Amino acid sequence: MSTISIFGLGYVGAVSLACLAENGHKMIGVDVNPLKAEIINAGRSPIIEHGLEEMIKRGAASGTIRATMNTHEAIHNTDISFISVGTPSNGNGSLDLSYVEKVAREIGKALTDKNQYHVVILRSTVLPGTTEELLIPILEQESGKKCGVDFGVCFNPEFLRESTAVKDFYDPPFTVIGAEDDKVADIVQGLYSMLNAPLRIASIREAEMIKYACNAFHALKVTFANEIGTVCKAAGIDSHKVMEIFCLDTKLNLSPYYLKPGYAFGGSCLPKDLRALVYLGRHFDLSLPVLESIIPSNELQMERAYRMVTQAGSKRVGVLGFSFKAGTDDLRESPIVELIERLIGKGYEIQVYDKNVSLANLYGANRAYIEKEIPHIAQLMRDNIEDVIESSDVIVIGNNSPEFQNVQSRYNGHHVTIDLVRAAGKEVVSSAKYHGISW
């Protein structure tokens, strides 16, 4: 078991102190407020949280929990330190990092005369880059030591809710460890070995961003449900019944589906139905800023793709996949068609390939749509992917058809790839000749 110090005894710090002590670790809480230290040493909780006071009382009685204001003492008597201080908002929306900076300086000074390897875990919610650009430089400057050699640093976001924080500690949705070296990751991973939850190792910046993605999505869900409720009330519909049934769908609604960054949405349903819902809101004179912003945001994603093509440096462009979804022949409101039409209008030489979209094999509405709405694009369609590659300098991958996954291996070296769906694989990131729309 480890000896651990926790700096900051608010909600996250106090709960972590008690829960880690319950699992056999020897804990030292550190706070600038002497009253918090006194309360914990007396076996009481500094916050109201179900079950917490009993845990702190047991820990204080057994000697596995104590608190101090002395940073040097805490660092020299522990192997691992958590930083769980507050990061409140400034007036302009930025974060006040003064508490993180102050604790980092104190820890750095305390490490100066410590010979043993020490791990510092930042748990406070901070914007991506903070650990590497603020915390690590301060620790190195104040200690005169090198991160990754004399001490280790990681970012470990918390997902504790007030009133259920103890339960959330033991039953988290997942555990994320942001670390740049295996030694630190292994040490921190060991602290959570008792949890039956997915554990993921990520880069420090990825781990910092995950917390913001989660909280932004939670805020979005609340606002989305409220706006649906606003429309329902105006239309005389039971909003709770609607959302109760909505939440039964764990295949699409409450699932990973639709939650991968990529190109804009399209097709015969989403754009049409969203426009109708916004129209209904206007009919009732309702303001629905979240719902009303979805289509403009979607249009911005199409604009990003267009600018990526125009910045690629050539007007010879090949488009691979232009139905709105791989495995279909549906071109209605396909965002790739919108991109193609805009490029044509700017004088680009376009070649298009999609094995699922062939005039010889199309019938009914899809064939009629091509012949009546986009006949100019029909003239650009090719039956052979090699023909498109050979006659193009820029390749745009428009959907995730399996045949496009290794398309770069067919190039002669001069092509620029613009990937709108990450067909090249999740490990590939933007480079000189490859550009992902959101990666």
Q: Rounded mean pLDDT of the chain?
A: 94
Reduce the secondary structure of 94-163 to three states and give it as a string.
CECCHHHHHHHHHHHHHHCCCCCCEEEEECCCCCCCHHHHHHHHHHHHHHCCCECCCEEEEECCCCCCCC
Interval 378-437: pLDDT, tens: 789 898 999 999 999 999 999 888 889 888 888 877 899 999 999 988 888 899 899 999
The single-letter DSSP state of residue 402 is G
Separation CA 377–CA 371 (nearest Å):
9
Instruction: Say what the pLDDT of residue 41 is.
Output: 98
Identify residue 336 by its one-letter amino acid code.
I
Which H helix or E strand runs over 397?
A: strand 394-397
Q: How confident is the model at residue 365 (pLDDT cuts 50, 70, 90)?
A: low
Q: How confident is the model at residue 215 (pLDDT cuts 50, 70, 90)?
A: very high
The mean per-residue pLDDT over the stretch 216-221 comes to: 97
Structure tokens at 17: 């102190």
Q: Could you give the percent of the chain with pLDDT greater than 70?
A: 98
Separation CA 29–CA 31 (nearest Å):
7
Which H helix or E strand runs over 410?
A: none
Class of domain 3-204: alpha beta
| Whether 201 contacts 179, CB under 8 Å | yes
Instruction: Say what the pLDDT of residue 328 is.
Output: 75
What is the second-level CATH architecture of the domain 299-436?
3-Layer(aba) Sandwich (3.40)
Instruction: Say what the pLDDT of residue 321 is.
Output: 92
Instruction: Say what the pLDDT of residue 104 is.
Output: 98
Instruction: Say what the pLDDT of residue 268 is.
Output: 81
| Whether 39 contacts 31, CB under 8 Å | no
Residue 147 among the catalytic residues: no
Task: Answer whether residue 98 shows pLDDT above 80.
Answer: yes
State pTM to two decimals.
0.90
The mean per-residue pLDDT over the stretch 155-159 comes to: 97
Report the chain's terminal Cα–Cα distance, integer Å. Answer: 40
Identify residue 381 by its one-letter amino acid code.
M
Task: Answer whether residue 9 shows pLDDT above 80.
Answer: yes
Ramachandran angles phi, psi of 114, nearest 5°: -105, 125
The mean per-residue pLDDT over the stretch 318-337 comes to: 83
Weakest mean pLDDT among 13-27, 78-92, 127-141, 256-270: 256-270
Task: Answer whether residue 359 shows pLDDT above 60.
Answer: no
Weakest mean pLDDT among 130-139, 220-229, 350-359: 350-359
Among 19, 232, 247, 269, the one annotated catalytic: 269
Residues of the chain with CATH 3.40.50.720: 3-204, 299-436
HSE-up of residue 410 (Cα within 13 Å, Cβ side): 17
* Strand pairing report for 316-320 and 199-202: unpaired
Separation CA 430–CA 405 (nearest Å):
15
Q: How confident is the model at residue 363 (pLDDT cuts 50, 70, 90)?
A: low
